Amino acid sequence: MISSLRPWRPEDFDDTCETCDAPPGQFCRPWCTAGYTAADARREAEREAEKARRIR
């Protein structure tokens, strides 16, 4: 389990969602089935943390 997630970086969100028009830097609307969600962010952060642990 990770203790904390890394902070958001501007390059994490470069484009507006094509489905719900959520602006860059924002999660998609709750009804959107195509965009970046909090679950996606958690999975990505967990993958990055695991990679960092393997490198050490």
Residue with the two structure tokens 């602006």: 23
pLDDT value for 10: 63
pLDDT value for 33: 83
- Give CA torsion, residues 21, 25, 26, 32, to 10 deg: 50
Below-50 pLDDT ranges, the chain: none
Q: What value, to the nearest 5°, has the Cα angle with vertex 44 and ends 42 and 48?
A: 115
